[in-house]
Structure 1
Amino acid sequence: MDAQHPKEPNTRIQNMESLAHLKTGHYEADNFANPSTTKASGKCTMSTMDSETHEASSASAGIQGVLTTLESSVEDNLNLTGWNFFSNVSTKTPCRILVGWNTATYNLPNFHQSPQWVTCDAYSITTKTTTHISFIYGHNKPPNRQPLWEYIVISSRLFNIHPWILMGDFNAVMDPDHRSGGDMRWLGHHDDFPKACHHAQLAALPYTGMKFSWNNGQQGRGNIQRKLDWVLENN
């Protein structure tokens, strides 16, 4: 499976003063269930959504995850007929995760939610296979991401029969090469994400497109870029 990065950073919101703090990421997954293997296959796509209409870049994917700090619902504006939706809005988090799926191609009977993730069991009606999918929205403060890393390690022991895909904004880098500009020190908390992936036996998928998925919007020497968005799979 390959992952495609956003063509533009998540900070690219223009002409929307009322939505100045909006951060919306759009994640798609489809054709990932291969009945002949426990490995996931297919394509996952990460992109931004239109800042004014909140329309997804494509309705072709069978499952979509939307990460947004917008408090009002974006569900109606997605304009996806025949889709069902689930979100972690009941966790009272400002970082909302909205999951939608095409009911003609997938059943999602089980969900586990928290302020930083929504995990579902995606059953493909076509291939009769199940894939675990976790949509991630990591907290921006390292101490508050600890529950996320613990969840990933614990879940890896439970999700060892079916493929498991994790995708979203982890708000963390994997190694020093995934940073440009700003504070380049490698502190203790920077090891939390790669250590969790190691213990959970997760691998980052190969990707095409931009290396860095976030920037601070500044130019020249003040520019800071980071690779915070990831698609991972279990081994």
Structure 2
Amino acid sequence: MICAAAWNVRGLNGVAHQKSVGQLVGEFNIKFLGLLETRVRASNAQSIQNYTLPSWKWFVDYNEPGSRIWLTWCEEEIGVEILVVDKQFIHCRVTNKGEHTKCLITVLYGANELIARREMWQGLIQISRSISDEPWMVMGDFNAVLDDSEVSGNAADTSASMAEFSECITDSELHHLPFTGANFTWHNCSDGERSLWKRLDRMLVNEAWLAKWPQSKYISTNPRTSDHSPLILQSQDSRKKPLCSDLRIT
């Protein structure tokens, strides 16, 4: 199984944020990573990528406004085929070269607006209908919650937003992957009455994934330099294998 992760980094221009990404990859031996909300201009992208994870492969689509999603992977061990690029998600086929296994991964960053998120829900449903028996995982910041238990504080989440999210999961035939760690994955960095926590980030998988990797789960860990928790797919040997060469973790 591929050790994959997704993280809304809330900006990647600062050196502290770049180091934090490298440290996360080193700590959990991540091989495939989706970074969200990088806020990096196209002219600065290559230098930041080279500093953050030297020798890794990157994919960013600057044809999409904002370039909200970056993908990066250890090319020594992972192969990636980009299949669909959308404003709110990137869908790809990922190959584990050592294990000779393949899976589909969709990394997403949902829009803040309900109407815009509806396009993402439809996109996921369309992808699900194109999949026959391949393992598929969807991971990232959905910018939506499923019910009131995923919110702590005064929030404006509507029942319509929750219902549409739930319907998308059902229609896409996706399942919640078990997780450990923080239940709320985002905090608005405010105190007192203005403090707000939500579970915006998660990993979902299809039946084929569960059949192939029934013990898979993920961890929602310390936000570090962001206001979102990174999500790391965990396997029993994820901490035992050697790191990719030239990985910056200092």
Given the two structures, how large is their TM-score scaled by the length of structure 1?
0.75
What secondary structure, in the 3-state scheme, does the structure 2 residue paired with 1:98 have?
Answer: strand
Render the CA deviation track for 1:105-142: whole Å, top value 9, x for unaligned.
Answer: 11113331111001110012122221000111000111
Equivalence map 1:85-164=2 (5 Å): 85-92=58-65, 94=66, 96-164=68-136
* Residues 5 and 33 in structure 2, CA contact (< 8 A), matched pair in contact too: no
Q: Which amino acid aligns with 2:40?
A: E
Q: Find out whether 1:75 has 2:44 as its counterpart.
A: no
Are the structure 2 counterparts of residues 99 and 128 from structure 1 closer, same or farther at C-alpha, using a change threshold of 3 Å?
same
State the alpha-carbon separation in 1 of the partners of residues 199 and 81 from structure 2.
Answer: 32
List gaps (5 residues or longer) in structure 2.
208-250
State the alpha-carbon separation in 2 of the partners of residues 184 and 79 from structure 1.
Answer: 38
Are the structure 2 counterparts of residues 69 and 45 from structure 1 closer, same or farther at C-alpha, using a change threshold of 3 Å?
closer
State the alpha-carbon separation in 1 of the partners of residues 4 and 50 from structure 2.
Answer: 23
Equivalence map 1:148-227=2 (5 Å): 148-183=120-155, 186-227=158-199
What secondary structure, in the 3-state scheme, does the structure 1 residue paired with 2:132 have?
Answer: coil
Instruction: Give the match for residue 24 of structure 1.
Output: none
Q: Which amino acid aligns with 1:164?
A: W
- Report the RMSD for the aligned CA atoms in angstroms: 2.0
Q: Which amino acid aligns with 1:77?
A: Y
Are the structure 2 counterparts of residues 120 and 154 from structure 1 closer, same or farther at C-alpha, using a change threshold of 3 Å?
same
List gaps (5 residues or longer) in structure 1.
1-30, 33-42
Q: 2:31 aligns with which of 51, 62, 70?
A: 62
Render the CA deviation track for 1:38-58: whole Å, top value 9, x for unaligned.
Answer: xxxxx5545565853413111
State the alpha-carbon separation in 2 of the partners of residues 109 and 226 from structure 1.
Answer: 32
Q: Which amino acid aligns with 2:37?
A: T
Are the structure 2 counterparts of residues 89 and 145 from structure 1 closer, same or farther at C-alpha, using a change threshold of 3 Å?
same
What secondary structure, in the 3-state scheme, does the structure 2 residue paired with 1:193 have?
Answer: helix
State the alpha-carbon separation in 2 of the partners of residues 77 and 141 from structure 1.
Answer: 33
- Higher helix share goes to which structure? 2
State the alpha-carbon separation in 2 of the partners of residues 69 and 45 from structure 1.
Answer: 15
Instruction: Give the match for residue 12 of structure 1.
Output: none
Given the two structures, how large is their TM-score scaled by the length of structure 2?
0.71
* Residues 60 and 67 in structure 2, CA contact (< 8 A), matched pair in contact too: no
| Count of residues paired in the alignment | 193
* Residues 6 and 34 in structure 2, CA contact (< 8 A), matched pair in contact too: no
Instruction: Give the match for residue 35 of structure 1.
Output: none
* Residues 188 and 196 in structure 2, CA contact (< 8 A), matched pair in contact too: yes
Identity of aligned residues (%): 23
* Residues 34 and 71 in structure 2, CA contact (< 8 A), matched pair in contact too: yes
